[in-house]
């Protein structure tokens, strides 16, 4: 067994032990902070705008946005498998290094990609597993040092969960160290909305 397989097995076990404890803390009503609130439409990140020009099929309106996912054992296993696969097999690399451009959103290529690429890959993999795309939202956050970052926010009945290439654990969004700025709309994959971070003031989204 190679080192990546060993790491993968360990991460899955750790997720199973710690992740479900965190999920159990979420209340089953949408007014709870475990469920992120959003405001009105906001600007689309330039990288996603250009991605949608190249892949318009990934950026359409959702005719019937789905209810939050019922997080069964099988669905939880999906999240673990997809999150772990991309975190283990994709080596972080900047768009500047890969494409000679400051922003170029796409799928991971040859085992390399930045945070947006990894998010796009995870989202596509869950859609292939039968997940409703309207519950899989690319999300822009600010790290404690002020640097921008992207994660995948997954809308479930146990809370809005975050799949993050910088953390092996799947967590409720409020249990992460980020300031949440904006995410894809739940009604249109090519549009974005501001996030109201329940832990503080509404974050400014300009520049992302």
Burial class (CB in 10 A: 0-12, 13-18, 19+), 192: buried
Domains of the chain: 3-196 (3.10.620)
Nearest CA to 38 among 205, 207, 197?
A: 197
Q: How far apart are CA 86 and CA 111, in angstroms?
A: 9
Q: Please say whether the beta carbons of 82 and 129 come within 8 A.
A: yes
Structural contact between residues 114 and 99, judged by C-beta atoms closer than 8 angstroms: no
Instruction: Give the dihedral sign, CA 112/133/8/169.
Output: positive
29 C-beta neighbours (distance < 10 Å), count: 9
pLDDT beyond 60 at 201: no
Residue 2 has pLDDT above 80, yes or no: no
Helix runs in the chain, H state only: 3-24, 46-54, 73-89, 95-99, 115-128
Q: How confident is the model at residue 117 (pLDDT cuts 50, 70, 90)?
A: very high
d(CA 10, CA 7): 5
Surface-to-core class of residue 124, CB atoms within 10 Å of its CB (0-12 exposed, 13-18 middle, 19+ buried): middle
- pLDDT tens digits for 61-106? 998 888 999 999 999 999 999 999 999 999 999 999 999 999 999 9
Q: Tell which wins on pLDDT, 11 or 52.
A: 52
């Amino acid at each position: 067994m190679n080192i990546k397989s060993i790491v993968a097995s360990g991460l899955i076990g750790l997720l199973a032990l710690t992740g479900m404890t965190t999920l159990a803390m979420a209340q089953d009503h949408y007014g709870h902070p475990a469920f992120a609130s959003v405001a009105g439409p906001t600007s689309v990140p330039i990288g996603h705008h250009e991605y949608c020009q190249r892949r318009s099929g990934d950026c359409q309106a959702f005719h019937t946005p789905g209810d939050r996912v019922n997080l069964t054992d099988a669905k939880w296993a999906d999240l673990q498998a997809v999150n772990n696969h991309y975190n283990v097999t994709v080596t972080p690399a900047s768009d500047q290094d890969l494409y000679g451009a400051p922003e170029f959103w796409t799928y991971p290529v040859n085992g390399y990609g930045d945070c947006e690429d990894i998010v796009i890959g995870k989202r596509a993999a869950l859609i292939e597993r039968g997940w409703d795309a309207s519950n899989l939202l690319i999300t822009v956050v600010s790290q404690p040092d002020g640097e921008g970052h992207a994660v995948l926010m997954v809308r479930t009945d146990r809370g809005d969960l975050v799949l993050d290439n910088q953390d092996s654990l799947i967590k409720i969004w409020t249990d992460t160290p980020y300031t949440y700025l904006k995410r894809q709309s739940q009604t249109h994959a090519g549009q974005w909305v501001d996030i109201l971070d329940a832990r503080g003031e509404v974050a400014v989204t300009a520049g992302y």
